[in-house]
Amino acid sequence: MKSSRFVKSVSPVFRLVFILIFLGLQAAFPLSGNLGDAQAAPAPDPGLAPVMETGQPEKIEPRPLLAATPSLGLSVPSTAMLGEEFTFTATFDNTGADPGYGPFMDIVLPATGADGVHPGTTPGVDEYDGVSFVGASFLGSAIPADQITVQSFPDDGGGFGCVQHPVAVRPANDPPPPGDTSVPRYYDICGVAGDTLVTIILPFGSFVPSQPPAAVTITAEMSDLADLNTLLGIRGQAGFQFGETPIQDFCCSPYDATIPVVPGGEYDTSGWSPSNIEPALMTLTKEYVGPENETATGPNYPRQFTITVDIADGQRIGVAGDGAQNLVITDDLPDNIQYLSLDSSTPSGASCTEPSTTTPGGTLSCSFDSVLGGAGANDATLTFSYYVDRLDASSGEVVNSSTGAPNTSNNTADVEGAWEPIDGRDDTTPLPTATATCGTPCVGVEDQSIVVQKDVGVANDVSPTGNTPGDTLEYTLDFQVSDFFGFQDIVLTDVISDGQRFDTTFTPTLNFSGNPASRDFSGAFAPANYVVDNSDIGNDTNPATGGTQTVT
């Protein structure tokens, strides 16, 4: 059973164990859509353009209203660490009424950043400090390189430039009419000089309106030279390479070419709505080291918090030998928890000021001389112990003694320190101060008079390995009683979901750990002390019988 630390001669810890048989209800989830259809529609090739029967240009006619409507949604994280990779999703959908053929997406990454200027070839002068492309995947598999085209916008004057789109073709009736309508005219796509255009061909021949949206995961990297407090916009659009038919009929009435159709043959990316990401130097997290973000109150239940600071790879916070510019982690404890001890801190050599060990609340502060960001996510850490006392710092009850209703201990923390930028173009007089917080609150722990946790393991694992039909599962319920409360006739109720059945050959057991050890107990439940309710099992399709069992 789980170990517990005991200080006083109260506060028993209990464990109830019972066995279930996993019936293993199975379901199949089909994927909708037309994967792989319309494969006869190849990427456009000027040498393979369709030839008109008469060889004469057709009469220019208005294009019919498009019923296939490609759309793209970007889900971009709010921040990314300097010099590190991050991922975001670009979700393709057809929000129209008809199928579209040859789905693709265009993604524009702000490669130049805040200080970069095309061509970005001179370090410390025009070097790029934005976001660069790494790769893309769909459903966990990398999208082949021949389905991805990466281009950089040139400078055609004024810091703006255009490239030829790799697949998007204009309709032949888009003015001015071409001399030979059988030769495809590709769209120009334009953006900030030096920024990156990524065109991704999706692995579908067509995309129907009823098809689930397709989420592509894109991996990018934030420059280690990126400027803090600067938003970098990622933009995108969706399209259908062949329009509303699976063939290249841009040449002929009714002129079905690439969607979206833009008169004049130019996609201007500056008009696309940006999804912003901000370069980050460091992050701070605070983790409760205990069961299920809850605790029984009293010194018999010491718990821990761990504070972790992650600094961007290769960046340094704090100036060696200058205490005024150190990296400092500060934790203002809520007034309803009692600090016990600082258990560890890394890196070594921190100078710490600790709260009182007799009065709840207070401030824990640790100063580190200088910390360099490494490959891991724990460049600086603190772990300390505490418990929830009966009274807070104002002598108020933490948990109501009349009702036993739970209370909450809300915790936060922050970190700051002087930063030495590695980009020589950044202002370093004075050194900028880097800060991070884990939120308000960043973690909340529920303080209770009695708490219960549930765990499960496989008692008998039949082939194949893992939770499969025929396995026997063992559930364990751990519960603890506060140092400041007493209970009689405790009743535990557990609802077992459909697909599992109580193993009637197993008798539930109870383990009791008290103090002194002479009060410990371990043994089987008496039959009169547990009940298995099967009234909700109908073994039919009747919705009124949900198939659950209740163990009390």
Report the sign of the C-alpha dihedral through residues 240, 246, 251, 253, in that order. negative
Closest among 341, 42, 386, 92 to 213, alpha carbons compared: 92
Strands 275-280 and 232-243: antiparallel
Query: Quick one: DSSP state of residue 249?
Result: B
DSSP-derived pairing of the beta strands 266-268 and 186-192 = parallel
Task: List C-alpha distances in Å: 523 to 391, 454, 473, 526.
Answer: 36, 19, 19, 9
Q: Do domains 46-279 and 281-448 have the same CATH topology?
A: yes
Which residues pair with residue 354 across a beta bridge? none
What is the 8-class DSSP label of residue 212?
A: P
Strand partners, 149: 199
Amino acid present at 365:
S
Q: Using CA atoms in the order 286, 292, 295, 301, what is the torsion angle rounded to 10 degrees?
A: -80
Name the residue with tokens 């400027």.
227
What helix, strand, coil percent values describe the chain, rounded to 5? 5, 45, 55
Q: 3-state DSSP call for residue 269?
A: helix
pLDDT tens for the chain, 552 residues long, are 333 333 333 344 555 655 555 443 332 323 333 333 333 333 433 333 333 333 333 333 444 445 899 999 999 999 999 999 999 999 999 999 999 999 999 999 999 999 999 999 999 899 999 999 999 999 999 999 999 999 999 999 999 999 999 999 999 998 888 878 889 999 999 999 999 999 999 999 999 999 999 999 999 999 999 999 999 999 999 999 999 999 888 988 888 999 999 999 999 999 999 999 999 999 999 999 999 999 999 999 999 999 999 999 999 999 888 878 999 999 999 999 999 999 999 999 999 999 999 999 999 999 999 999 999 999 999 999 999 999 999 999 999 999 999 999 999 999 999 998 999 898 888 888 999 999 878 899 999 999 999 999 888 888 888 888 888 999 999 989 999 998 888 888 888 888 888 888 989 998 888 767 788 888 998 889 888 888 777 666 555 566 777 777
How far is the C-alpha of 237 from the C-alpha of 469, rounded, in Å? Answer: 45
Which secondary-structure segment (H or E) carries 92?
strand 85-94
Distance CA(338)–CA(384), nearest Å, equals 11
Which sequence spans correspond to the domains of the chain? 13-25+450-551, 46-279, 281-448
DSSP secondary structure of 437-477: E--TTSEEEEEESEEEEEEEEEEE-PSSSSS-TT-EEEEEE
Instruction: Name the amino acid, one letter, at 290.
Output: G
Handedness of CA 402, 404, 405, 407 (dihedral sign): positive
Distance of CA 381 to the CA centre of its chain: 23
Residue 275 to residue 131: CA distance in whole angstroms: 13
Residue 77 vs residues 93, 220, 225: alpha-carbon distances, Å: 21, 12, 19
Task: Please tell me the distance from the alpha carbon of residue 55 to that of residue 51, in angstroms, as a whole number.
Answer: 7
Q: Is the pTM of this model over 0.95?
A: no
Residue 481 contacts residue 487 (beta carbons within 8 Å): yes
Question: Phi and psi (nearest 5°) for 271?
Answer: -90, -5
Q: What spatial distance separates the first Cα and last Cα of the chain, rounded to whole Å?
A: 21
- Determine contact, residues 414/330, Cβ cutoff 8 Å: yes
Quick one: DSSP state of residue 35? T
| Residue 319: predicted pLDDT | 87
Residue 151: beta bridge partners?
Answer: 197
b/e per residue, 29-65, with b = 16+ CB within 10 A? eeeebeeeebeebeebeeeebeeeeeeebeeeeebee
The C-alpha atoms of residue 384 and residue 399 are separated, in whole angstroms, by 23
Q: Which of 3.40.930.10, 2.60.40.1510, 2.60.40.10, 2.10.25.10 would CATH assign to domain 46-279?
A: 2.60.40.1510
CATH architecture of the domain formed by 281-448: Sandwich (2.60)
Residues 6+ apart with CB under 8 A from 318: 325, 326, 327, 368, 369, 370, 371, 417, 418
- For position 254, what pLDDT does the model report? 85
What's the CA gap between 77 and 127, in Å, rounded?
A: 24
pLDDT attached to residue 546:
66
* 256-259, long-range: CB < 8 A, 24+ apart: 256/171, 257/169, 257/170, 257/171, 257/172, 257/174, 258/167, 258/168, 258/169, 258/170, 258/187, 259/66, 259/68, 259/69, 259/70, 259/100
What does the chain come to in residues?
552
Q: How far apart are CA 101 and CA 68, in angstroms?
A: 9
